[in-house]
Amino acid sequence: MKITLTDVVKKYGEFTAINSVNLDLNSGQMLGLVGPNGSGKTTLLKLILGILKPTIGNIQVDGQVLDPIKWKEYKGGVGYMPERVSFYDNLTGIETLKFFGQIKGGSIDNIKDVLDRLFTKEILDKKVGSYSKGMRQRLNFAQAIINDPNVLILDEPTSGLDPIGIKEFYEIISGILERKRPIIILSSHILAEIEDRVTTVGIMKDGQLQALGTLNELYKKSELPLKLYIISKSENNGIMDMLISEGVKIVMSTKNEAGAVTQTLQGVNERILHCEFHRDNKMKILSCLMERKIDIIDFIVREPSLEEVFFGLN
């Protein structure tokens, strides 16, 4: 499946919520959609869901602009996990899922293995009104996948989940991607959580896709420096002068006082260097460090985080 948004604009009166968005989504792709509150993320999700229609531009599914009948067929293959959902508190968990299955043309049989991971039978037989926030979020996820969707849209899906629940959620998502290769769009404020789990990142601001690409593509576009951390054996071995001569910026230099910086090192003359350099110089810097490896205990090169890219592009 392929979904294509071309020059999509969504207006509410004079207010432009989405402004000239172009986006291609393909089977097996997991898009992480990030941006501040009010940036247009939820409106964009509703356009892709078919809940809203563009004011200008068009949305194509497999190369076709859908008529009302085709939109209805498309929606039957979409799963949506909203950030906030209301359930009937007097229904049990299993009754709630059967209810959603009837509405969406799905079945509990589609998600039996997932249910066994998310709930005990005892929990599913309890009324939803007794559920904690985390359990409601698990139920929200279960209803989103009950129709075995081709398109799965998840809005702040791990809100209210504990670390074990978050790990389990992403393991289930990985299994779904491996088995069926749907299009998955995940909107989140927790940038560190998604950066190693999505295939593509879209950064929204003021109703526009400010940046779109893989993490490596965004790293390059942001032109943020790589970070280099070095533990050298002594203070006066010339490593700092060598790095400066190669255009490396020394952000901080500290003396390791009897293992204060790291518990594994005990030498009082060790020095910790925190540096930054342009990614185009990476191989040259590493080559220089290897030439001086006798003076180096350890070093780490780190890419910018998604959070740093986000603020660098906004």
Distance (Å, whole) CA 248 – CA 236: 18
HEC string of 178-205 equals HHHCCEEEEECCCHHHHCCCCCEEEEEE
pLDDT digits (tens, 9 = 90+) for 47-61: 999 999 999 999 999
Span 2-6, mean pLDDT?
97
- Which of the two residues, 235 and 218, has the higher pLDDT score? 218
CB 186 within 8 A of CB 198: yes
3-state secondary structure of 113: helix
Side chain identity, residue 209: L
Asked whether the predicted pLDDT for residue 25 surpasses 50, the reply is yes
What confidence score (pLDDT) does residue 233 get? Answer: 77
3-state secondary structure of 267: coil
pLDDT at 260 over 60: no
pLDDT in tens, 43-102: 999 999 999 999 999 999 999 998 989 998 999 999 999 988 899 999 999 999 999 999
User: Across residues 8-26, what is the average pLDDT?
Assistant: 96
- The predicted structure's pLDDT at residue 239: 84
Confidence of residue 298 (pLDDT cuts 50, 70, 90): confident
Quickly list H helices, the chain.
41-49, 68-75, 93-104, 112-118, 121-124, 133-145, 163-180, 191-194, 215-222, 239-245, 282-291, 306-313
Q: What is the mean pLDDT of the chain?
A: 88
Q: What is the pLDDT of residues 26-45, one digit of tens each?
A: 999 999 999 888 889 999 99
Which residue type occupies 191?
Answer: L
Question: Per-residue pLDDT averaged across 231-260, rounded?
Answer: 75
Beta bridge partners of 229: 274, 300
Query: Where does the pLDDT of residue 255 fall: very low under 50, low under 70, confident under 90, or very high at 90 and above?
Result: low
Q: Is the pLDDT of residue 109 over 80?
A: yes
pLDDT value at residue 259: 44
Give me the mean pLDDT over the 107-127 stretch.
93
- CB distance 17 to 10 below 8 Å: yes
Separation CA 199–CA 280 (nearest Å): 24
Residue 16 pLDDT class (50, 70, 90 cuts)? very high
299 neighbors 229 (Cβ within 8 angstroms): yes
Task: Note the pTM of the prediction, 2 decimals.
Answer: 0.79
**118-173 per-position pLDDT tens digit:** 999 999 999 999 999 999 999 999 999 999 999 999 999 998 888 888 999 999 99
Give yes or no for residue 258 having a pLDDT over 50: no
Q: Which of 194, 191, 172, 192 is nearest to 182 (CA)?
A: 172
pLDDT at 235: 60
Alpha carbon distances (Å) from 209 to 27, 140, 302, 308, 314: 20, 28, 26, 17, 11
Whether pLDDT at 263 is above 50: no
What is the distance between the alpha carbons of residues 163 and 231, in angstroms, rounded to a whole number?
32
Please give the pLDDT value at position 236: 56
Rounded to whole angstroms, the Cα distance separating 54 from 18 reads 9
| Residue of higher predicted confidence among 216 and 312 | 216
Q: What is the mean pLDDT of residues 284-311?
A: 84
Question: For 169-173, 202-206, 253-257, 260-264, which range has the lowest pLDDT when averaged over its residues?
Answer: 260-264
Average pLDDT over residues 7-21: 95
Query: Cα–chain-centroid distance for residue 180?
Result: 20
Both structure tokens of 154 = 């998840």
- Give the pLDDT mean for 251-278: 64
Start-to-end CA distance of the chain, whole Å, equals 32
User: Which tokens is 211 given?
Assistant: 């940046």
